């Protein structure tokens, strides 16, 4: 992370709650938010899930972190129990050290606890909507209902993209909503070649490496991407696919690779710590931003696409509204439908055209600069906190008005 001068302009106390561990490999935006906020002089408290062996409390990146034992999976009973204990902890902290803003991840993060009950005195609630439910269309529908209800209980709401906002509220969305875009910490990513990692992964030295990074959930239909890569390999045997991530679709992908006869051309790494992701991206020649054109995925801007571009990679992206937030066809990436034949043809365009790869790569990093988290925190996050406090109507003016510009 690039160093930023600490200022006294933000005399705020922000509390963030998530049932995921902290620091986390899931929704890593908050890792970066907290580093930048504390560097800027914001007091930050984190209520997070606790993994085995982790301390119940410690200081991380200048933030006070309190951990509560929970199952960090998607089990909803555990999320509700975590929320009950987490909100109790917040009330206790608030009595000793007033919290100005509770930064609350939207449903289903805290289960059916849509906000603390009772609401903490003099604390504004900012709801952070990252996506709707993704496991199936019914859950997607239920999550939209719950998020709409949660918005009515919050003082201000942020959404990662206009398409996500429209998907939840329709074209006539209510007031009190601003955009807090997904982004990338550009100081952590840079163009380069990691030949040593390729060697350690037993990837042939002359291979053309296609890379995919992300959660391997069955609903992401990554077998279609695998079929496309299989078509490319049949004409270009030097191609190797590197898949970084874990999920319930891993076994299905491994089986599909054997069926296609390309298992020797694929490496599955499993989950990789977030701080190692830049190393793995530097072992790619082409980034695959395959997102199925499904209601639960298509509108969300994929963080993988931003990371590929930040690392200077040429990218083959599916033609979804979310991908098009970062991608301009033919300028910094190639867009394709999610059909396997069309996606294969787009990949082959890059595999077989070094000049096209070089041209896209040369534009990739500058094309993503507006989504650098260093800019997003100042331009979008801090103003959202201010809007939440103003909407709450609390007399905290002595703490923030003269300082938030």
Q: Scanning the structure block, which residue is given the tokens 């100005």?
A: 100
Share of the chain above pLDDT 70, in %: 92
**Where does the pLDDT of residue 403 fall: very low under 50, low under 70, confident under 90, or very high at 90 and above?**
very low
Closest CA to 301 of 182, 385, 404, 383: 182
DSSP 190-230: -----HHHHHHTT--TT-EEEEEES---GGG-HHHHHHHHH
pLDDT tops 50 at residue 7 = no
Residues linked to residue 101 through DSSP beta bridges, in sequence order: 14, 124
**Where does the pLDDT of residue 76 fall: very low under 50, low under 70, confident under 90, or very high at 90 and above?**
low
Structure tokens that stand for 22 in this block: 């902290």
Q: What is the pLDDT of residue 295?
A: 83
Which whole-number Å values give the CA distances from 156 to 131, 180, 380, in the listed order? Answer: 17, 12, 13
Gap between the Cα atoms of 226 and 234, Å rounded: 12
Task: Check if the beta carbon of residue 40 is closer than 8 Å to that of residue 4.
Answer: yes
Averaged over 21-48, what is the pLDDT?
A: 90
More confident residue, 10 or 142: 142
Domain ranges of the chain: 13-183+372-400, 186-369
More confident residue, 337 or 108: 337
Domains 13-183+372-400 and 186-369 share a fold: yes
Q: What is the pLDDT of residue 395?
A: 56
pLDDT tops 50 at residue 160 = yes
Phi-psi region of 176 (alpha: psi -120 to 50; beta: other; left: phi over 0): left
**Where does the pLDDT of residue 194 fall: very low under 50, low under 70, confident under 90, or very high at 90 and above?**
very high
* CA dihedral over 29, 30, 34, 35, signed as positive or negative: negative
The CATH number fitting domain 186-369, selected from 3.40.50.150, 3.40.50.2000, 3.40.190.10, 1.10.10.60 = 3.40.50.2000
Residues 6+ apart with CB under 8 A from 95: none
If one counts every other C-beta atom within 10 angstroms of the C-beta of residue 156, the result is 25
pLDDT tens across 110-154, in order? 989 999 988 887 899 999 998 776 556 777 788 999 999 999 999
Residues 6+ apart with CB under 8 A from 299: 161, 163, 164, 166, 167, 320, 321, 322
* CA dihedral over 171, 125, 298, 33, signed as positive or negative: positive
Q: What is the DSSP letter of 39?
A: H
Averaged over 174-187, what is the pLDDT?
A: 96
Q: Scanning the structure block, which residue is given the tokens 């996606």?
A: 343
Q: What is the pLDDT of residue 289?
A: 98
- pLDDT, mean over the chain: 91
Task: Check if the beta carbon of residue 209 is closer than 8 Å to that of residue 284.
Answer: yes
Q: What is the pLDDT of residue 405?
A: 36
**Three-class SS of residue 316?**
strand
Task: With residue 314 as reference, give the H or E element that holds it.
Answer: none
Averaged over 374-402, what is the pLDDT?
A: 81
pLDDT tens across 265-275, in order? 999 999 999 88
Task: Check if the beta carbon of residue 367 is closer than 8 Å to that of residue 331.
Answer: yes
Gap between the Cα atoms of 115 and 112, Å rounded: 9
pLDDT tens across 86-98, in order? 999 999 999 999 9
Task: Check if the beta carbon of residue 127 is closer than 8 Å to that of residue 104.
Answer: yes
**Three-class SS of residue 37?**
helix
Share of the chain above pLDDT 90, in %: 77
pLDDT tops 70 at residue 196 = yes
Averaged over 13-26, what is the pLDDT?
A: 88
Task: Check if the beta carbon of residue 359 is closer than 8 Å to that of residue 155.
Answer: no
Structure tokens that stand for 206 in this block: 């002359």
pLDDT tops 70 at residue 398 = no
How far is C-alpha 353 from the chain's CA centre?
Answer: 31
pLDDT tops 70 at residue 103 = yes
Q: Which CATH class is domain 13-183+372-400?
A: alpha beta
């Amino acid at each position: 992370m690039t160093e930023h001068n600490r200022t006294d302009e933000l005399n705020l106390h922000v509390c963030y709650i998530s049932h995921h561990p902290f620091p986390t490999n899931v929704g890593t935006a908050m890792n970066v938010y907290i580093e930048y906020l504390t560097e800027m002089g914001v007091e930050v408290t984190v209520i997070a899930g606790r993994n085995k062996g982790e301390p119940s409390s410690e200081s991380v990146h200048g933030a006070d972190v309190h951990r509560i034992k929970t199952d960090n999976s998607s089990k909803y009973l555990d999320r509700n129990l975590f929320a009950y204990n987490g909100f109790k902890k917040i009330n206790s902290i608030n009595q000793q050290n007033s919290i100005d803003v509770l930064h609350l991840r939207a449903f289903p993060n805290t289960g059916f606890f849509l906000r603390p009950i009772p609401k903490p005195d003099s604390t504004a609630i900012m709801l952070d909507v990252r996506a709707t439910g993704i496991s199936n269309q019914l859950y997607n529908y239920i999550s939209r209902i719950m998020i709409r209800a949660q918005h009515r209980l919050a003082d201000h709401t942020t959404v990662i993209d206009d398409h996500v906002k429209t998907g939840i509220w329709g074209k006539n969305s209510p007031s009190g909503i601003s955009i807090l875009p997904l982004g990338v910490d550009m100081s952590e990513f840079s163009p380069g070649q990691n030949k040593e990692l390729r060697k350690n992964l037993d990837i042939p030295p002359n291979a053309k490496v296609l890379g995919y990074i992300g959660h391997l959930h069955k609903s992401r239909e990554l077998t279609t991407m695998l079929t496309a890569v299989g078509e490319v390999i049949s004409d270009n045997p030097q191609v190797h696919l590197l898949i970084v991530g874990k999920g319930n679709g891993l076994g299905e992908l491994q089986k599909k690779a054997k069926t296609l006869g390309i298992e020797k051309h694929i490496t599955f790494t499993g989950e990789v710590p977030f701080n190692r992701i830049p190393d793995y991206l530097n072992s790619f020649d082409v980034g695959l931003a395959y997102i199925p054109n499904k209601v639960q995925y298509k509108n969300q801007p994929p963080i993988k696409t931003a990371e590929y571009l930040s690392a200077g990679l040429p990218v083959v992206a599916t033609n979804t509204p979310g991908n098009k937030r970062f991608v301009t066809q033919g300028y910094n990436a190639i867009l394709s439908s999610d059909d396997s034949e069309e996606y294969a043809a787009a990949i082959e365009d890059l595999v077989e055209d070094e000049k096209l790869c070089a041209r896209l790569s040369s534009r990739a990093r500058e094309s993503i600069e507006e989504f650098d988290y260093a800019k997003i925190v100042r331009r979008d996050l801090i103003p959202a906190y201010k809007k939440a406090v103003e909407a709450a109507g609390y007399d905290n003016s002595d703490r923030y008005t003269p300082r938030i510009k």
